[in-house]
Amino acid sequence: MIPRKVLSWHIHFCLFLLAEFSFGQTVCGKHPPLFLRNSEDLISVHCMKEDLKQLRTQLTTIHPQLTYYKTEKQVDSLFAEVNSTCSTPLKTIEFIEIVSTLLQYLNDSHTNISPLVLTQFSHVKRVFPFYLEQINDKFYLQKCFKDIIPRGTECLEIDNIPISTILDKAKQFAFKEGMASEAHNQMALKLVSRIYNFYHLKNREFLTFKLVDFTGDTLEKKLQSTTLRSVLFDNEWNPKEAVWYWFDSSGTACLQLGSFSAKGNNGMRRILDEFFKEVNLRKSPHVFIDLRGNSGGYVSIKNYLISYLDTSNTDKRERYDFIRSEEDRFSSIGWWIKYRYRSYLKRYPNDTLIAKEWHYIESPNGTNCQLFYDNNSRVSRKAYRGKVSVAINGVSMSASVMFSSWIQTTGRGVLYGEMCMGGHKGTFGDAVQLKLKHSKIPFNMSTVKITPLVTADATTSGIVPDVLLKPTITQLKNGIDPIKEVLGFYKKNITKIK
């Protein structure tokens, strides 16, 4: 005969197993990774609330300046509102949208849910890539898969869904930095294709664009989608971050920087050294630096580039704000680096910066710290003294924003293009990827705030170029770069230098 206590335990265990198999999609902590799930799978209330607690704690203990753009009261109020929204089980994608909107509210482009999350779900297998340009509240094809639709064609709807509706959804995932609202809209335009593929294509083989052709007639065009895998390995749609330079027939030196980290720290320095060596040999009267789409990278490379252009020894000091945690840039240094710190300070005890770094490294988690770096790495007599032009747009972020700020505030060059993703007060950075424990949703969070001292008191509004330029419909149709047209050179006239 089975004892009553043992029988009771067996009954409870069987009920637990039944709950696991019957409601496994909503049992807290049992969610598989996103690539093994469907975006419609439910997340339990308990899971969501525990994940929101985790997120609030990590924002407080890891993010260097959580209330840089928002007050503590505003952040608490938003979390309370989100908590009430999560009072019933929600689909995974609904919870992702909530968390994305919450992080976006902080106006820190490095603290976010990456739009790439939408490609991780197991059911996303077919896509149709394209890019749009918005001109006077209308949407035009900038680029289309296999060039099936001509550039400059006006787009009205996709599968009876207005483009504006898809754009509104894209804004939930587009990054925000400070008050650079126009840049936020530009990035959302870049995401329209990804948002359509995830929410509306549903792995169908065909889709239908409603267009206005060049004669003014409205028509519908049925197109075939392609596999996600084929696009991921397509260099045209997923190119490596471009870093190269070339010279046009007039001698203008053109430096294309897709990021400040594409070749690694030393590799980027070598490219800049080679570029300016060639500039000096050719006696180029004009240097054009293209930062459109530059997502950032090493701030040290940004400073290295500035050192080649600084002709008046401007103030390049920067303040780094940290909060000590297991995720900051100093958390991963090994015993050898620590040994070198101690050895260095024995020889140079009066090196204030190194001493402060070491004091911060030895401090307990939760310690706030400000470190100041002067960034004077090259004397001004070696700098290039000719004309400088810089191109930016809404997807120019992080270090590229800081470089653009330096160009504009010092008057060293002229900015062309559209508002970039940030203002003159610096940027957040050193983002780490974390994961919500129960829902398994990955997200990014900043671990440092970098502020140039010369612009520390500037406004939080986005950087507006000296010369605002957007492509016209005619330029779109003919594939003409509006900035290069204004500056008077074209890629077809260049000699490319590797």
| pLDDT, tens digit, 9 for 90 and up, residues 200-231 | 998 899 999 999 999 999 999 999 999 988 88
Q: What angle do CA 182, 451, 349 make, to 5 degrees?
A: 165
Q: Is the pTM of this model over 0.85?
A: yes
Domain extents for the chain? 22-119, 126-232, 243-497
Of the ranges 50-59, 238-247, 313-322, 428-437, which one carries the lowest mean pLDDT score? 238-247
| pLDDT (average), residues 459-487 | 92
Distance CA 91, CA 85 (A): 12
For 18, other C-beta atoms within 10 Å of its C-beta total 10
Q: What is the pLDDT of residue 313?
A: 84
- pLDDT value of residue 377: 61
Q: Measured between alpha carbons, how far is 355 from 348 in angstroms, rounded to an integer?
A: 9
CATH code of the domain made up of 126-232: 2.30.42.10
Better-predicted residue by pLDDT, 243 or 155: 155
Cβ atoms of 79 and 51 within 8 Å: the answer is: no
Same topology between domain 126-232 and domain 243-497: no
Name the band, by pLDDT with cuts 50, 70 and 90, for residue 123: confident
- Report yes or no: 195 and 201 within 8 Å, Cβ to Cβ: no
| Topology (CATH level 3) of domain 243-497 | 2-enoyl-CoA Hydratase; Chain A, domain 1 (3.90.226)
Structure tokens at 432: 């780490």
CA atoms of 16 and 23, how far apart (whole Å): 10
The pLDDT of 366-375, averaged and rounded, is: 91
pLDDT tens-digit profile of 39-86?
999 999 999 999 999 999 999 999 999 999 999 999 999 999 999 999
pLDDT for 94-109, tens place per residue? 999 999 999 999 999 9
% of the chain with per-residue pLDDT over 70: 91
Task: Tell me how crowded residue 43 is: count the other CB atoms within 10 A of its CB.
Answer: 27
**Residue 495's pLDDT is what?**
55
- Which residues are within 8 A (CB) of 326 and not within 5 positions of it... i.e. 6 or more apart? 365
Give the helix/strand (H/E) hosting 144. strand 138-144
Q: What is the pLDDT of residue 12?
A: 47
Task: Extract the runs of DSSP E, i.e. beta strands, from 184-327.
Answer: 206-212, 218-224, 226-227, 243-247, 253-257, 286-290, 318-323
Rounded Cα–Cα distance for residues 85 and 414 (Å): 47
Task: For residue 317, give both structure tokens.
Answer: 């000091």
Q: Is the per-residue pLDDT at 235 higher than 80?
A: no
Q: Tell me, what's the pLDDT at 312?
A: 87
Helix (H/G/I), strand (E/B), else coil: 450: strand
The length of the chain in residues reads: 498
pLDDT of 19 > 80? The answer is no
Which of 62-76, 156-170, 237-251 shows the lowest mean pLDDT across its residues?
Answer: 237-251
pLDDT given at position 113: 96
